[in-house]
């Protein structure tokens, strides 16, 4: 009888303990789940890459950070913290591939099979661009402009100053002679001195929004961008495989938001002043 009483007491004690304490532990777990924030490390170049990344007084501005901040607004991703990690551009690519950083914005490269583009998350790539950068030839009125315009119409060659690493993709109908320059300021001086007929610059976004060119920003007001743009480069949110595997639904949510943000409000900050 005594043994049966002891067993009954143990059962009652366990039941009482469970009723009293388990809800407390459960509430702490639920609270942790709702208060834990996911930190997304976005890699940005440490130096200016106008108009996409601009460093002012050690603060990061530019079209891409402005778009990304909209994506990660409190009203859209309230449980996520966006953190910008500034690196040299090549290191950004390497750290995304290794999973050290989580995300960046970049063009599509079919050879990069160790990062995650929207197409690997179930989206049509052509429908999921964050933005499209339009690139124009810019020239100076006179003989340089004449050669450039004729060249754009397929009526001869023309020399074009281009920064190293910039895309040389173009229509088969034109025949530019590229002069590749490693100093980012040198191409502007080459055009000013007449050593090239034109240079290349981002001149608009999404085909509809003209933006202030880099030459205007740094004071070369006699350079004229020639429309239509000769090249359009779509850009996408790109994730590390590690991030996409661990936070697949969040990655999909980011892609969806990137296609629906108010880009007009961002582009208007960079429109030409004249």
pLDDT digits (tens, 9 = 90+) for 205-250: 999 999 999 999 999 999 999 999 999 999 999 999 999 999 999 9
Span 191-201, mean pLDDT? 97
How far apart CA 97 and CA 208 sit, in angstroms, is 33
Question: Which three-class secondary structure string do you get for 11-30?
Answer: HHHHHHHHHHHHHHHHHHHH
Domain presence at residue 20: no
Same domain (yes/no): 93, 111: yes
Domain presence at residue 30: no
* pLDDT on residue 76: 81
CATH code of 146's domain: 3.40.190.10
Same domain (yes/no): 158, 198: yes
Q: Which two tokens stand for residue 160?
A: 């074009």
pLDDT at 167 over 90: no
3-class SS at 79? coil
How far apart CA 110 and CA 13 sit, in angstroms, is 64
Judged on CB neighbours under 10 Å (0-12, 13-18, 19+), 195 is: middle
* pLDDT on residue 17: 35
* pLDDT on residue 171: 82
pLDDT at 22 over 50: no
For residue 130, how many other CB atoms are within 10 A of its CB?
Answer: 24
Tens digit of each residue's pLDDT (9 = 90 or more) over 112-155: 889 999 999 999 999 999 999 999 999 999 999 999 999 999 99
By mean pLDDT, which of 4-8, 27-31, 120-124, 192-196 is the weakest?
Answer: 27-31
Span 58-68, mean pLDDT? 95
Q: Are 138 and 187 in contact (CB under 8 A)?
A: no
Q: What is the DSSP letter of 76?
A: T
Domain presence at residue 3: no
Span 7-24, mean pLDDT? 36
Same domain (yes/no): 153, 226: yes
pLDDT at 157 over 50: yes
Same domain (yes/no): 196, 169: yes
Nearest to 192 by CA among 222, 163, 216, 166: 222
Same domain (yes/no): 115, 247: yes
- Averaged confidence pLDDT in the chain: 87
Q: What is the DSSP letter of 165?
A: T
How far apart CA 75 and CA 120 sit, in angstroms, is 26
Q: What residues contact residue 39 under an 8 Å CB cut-off, 6+ apart?
A: 80, 81, 83
How far apart CA 272 and CA 44 sit, in angstroms, is 24
Domain presence at residue 264: yes
Helix axes 63-71 and 248-258, enclosed angle (nearest 10): 120
How far apart CA 46 and CA 85 sit, in angstroms, is 9
Same domain (yes/no): 125, 146: no
Same domain (yes/no): 90, 156: no
Higher pLDDT, 89 or 203: 203
Higher pLDDT, 29 or 265: 265
Q: Which two tokens stand for residue 20?
A: 């009293």
Same domain (yes/no): 45, 137: no
* pLDDT on residue 75: 80
How far apart CA 160 and CA 140 sit, in angstroms, is 12
Total structural domains within the chain? 2
Secondary structure E strands in the chain: 38-45, 54-56, 59-61, 80-87, 103-106, 115-116, 131-139, 157-163, 175-181, 198-205, 209-210, 224-240
Same domain (yes/no): 249, 118: yes
* pLDDT on residue 154: 94
Same domain (yes/no): 175, 139: yes
User: Which domain, by its residues, includes 208?
Assistant: 133-233
How far apart CA 27 and CA 18 sit, in angstroms, is 14
Domain presence at residue 21: no
Domain presence at residue 18: no
Percent of the chain's residues with pLDDT above 70:
87
Domain presence at residue 82: yes
Same domain (yes/no): 115, 154: no
Same domain (yes/no): 182, 215: yes
Domain presence at residue 240: yes
| Residues, the chain | 274
């Amino acid at each position: 009888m005594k043994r049966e009483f002891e067993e009954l007491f143990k059962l009652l004690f366990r039941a009482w303990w469970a009723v009293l304490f388990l809800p407390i532990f459960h509430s702490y777990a639920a609270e942790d789940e709702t208060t834990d924030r996911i930190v997304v490390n976005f890699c940005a170049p440490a130096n200016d890459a106008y108009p996409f990344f601009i460093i002012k007084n050690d603060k990061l501005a530019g079209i891409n950070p402005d778009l990304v901040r909209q994506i990660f607004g409190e009203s859209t991703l309230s449980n996520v913290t966006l953190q910008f990690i500034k690196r040299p551009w090549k290191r950004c690519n390497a750290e995304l591939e290794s999973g050290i950083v989580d995300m960046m914005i970049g063009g599509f490269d079919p050879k990069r099979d160790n990062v995650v583009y929207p197409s690997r998350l179930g989206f049509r790539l052509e429908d999921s661009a964050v933005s499209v950068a339009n690139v124009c030839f810019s020239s100076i009125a006179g003989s340089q402009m004449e050669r450039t315009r004729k060249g754009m119409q397929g009526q001869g060659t023309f020399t074009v100053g281009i920064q190293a690493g910039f895309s040389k993709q173009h229509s088969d109908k034109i025949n530019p002679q590229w002069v590749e320059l490693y100093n980012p300021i040198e191409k502007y001086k080459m055009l000013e001195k007449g050593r090239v007929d034109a240079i290349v610059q981002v001149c608009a976004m999404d085909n509809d929004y003209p933006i202030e060119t880099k030459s205007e920003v740094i004071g070369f007001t006699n350079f004229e961008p020639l429309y239509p743009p000769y090249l359009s480069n779509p850009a996408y949110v790109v994730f590390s495989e590690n991030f996409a595997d661990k936070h697949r639904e969040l990655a999909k949510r980011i892609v969806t938001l990137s296609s629906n943000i108010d880009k007009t409000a961002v582009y208007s900050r960079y429109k030409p002043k004249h």
